[in-house]
Amino acid sequence: MRERRLLERIAGLGTDDQRSHVTRAEILVDSILSHLRRILNTRQGSVPIDPLFGVPDFTNLAGSFAAGTTGQIIEDMNRMILRYEPRLRQSQIIFAESQDEVLSLAFSITGLIAVDDQEIPIRLTSHVAANGRVSLKRQ
């Protein structure tokens, strides 16, 4: 079951997981989403084994529309995806103009995942709230 990360496979060893109706692509996407949530909500410098893991504090950036703010967030998110989530290939992050909340920023993340020697396109939406918390969901 290469769709899951090593720690997810180890955690599932003791369970009798009979989810045969779930496709390999769905398992892979769920695993990637879970991992990206963890990465993008970890503050840089808070992981002793890897000081580069995580993103800078978005608290001051999310409520601001200063020049370069969205570009900096995109750059930081892209750097984390490239470095720590290689299962999402050719990822691109685009700032989404329409927003539901005034003090949050919305982004669209697209990329490809490999399942059974096929490249499957995937699209995620991401919101950075005013408190710096990043949420992700499948679109």
| 33-87 pLDDT, tens digit each | 999 999 999 999 999 999 988 888 776 555 555 546 788 889 989 999 999 999 9
Q: Which two tokens stand for residue 45?
A: 């410098």
> Residue 117's domain spans which residues?
6-11+21-138
CATH of the domain at 78: 3.10.450.40
CB 37 within 8 A of CB 22: no
Question: Residue 16 falls within a domain, yes or no?
Answer: no
- Rounded to a whole number, what is the distance in angstroms from the first to the last CA of the chain? 24
Residues 6 or more apart whose CB falls under 8 angstroms from that of 12 comprise 4
Question: Residue 66 falls within a domain, yes or no?
Answer: yes
SS3 assignment, position 87? coil
Question: Residue 37 falls within a domain, yes or no?
Answer: yes
pTM of the model: 0.78
Question: Residue 1 falls within a domain, yes or no?
Answer: no
CB 40 within 8 A of CB 77: yes
Does residue 139 register a pLDDT over 90? no
Instruction: Supply the pLDDT for residue 57.
Output: 78
What is the total count of domains within the chain? 1
Question: Residue 72 falls within a domain, yes or no?
Answer: yes
∠ CA 38-111-130, rounded to 5°: 45
Instruction: Supply the pLDDT for residue 109.
Output: 95
E strands, the chain, where? 89-96, 105-115, 118-128, 134-138
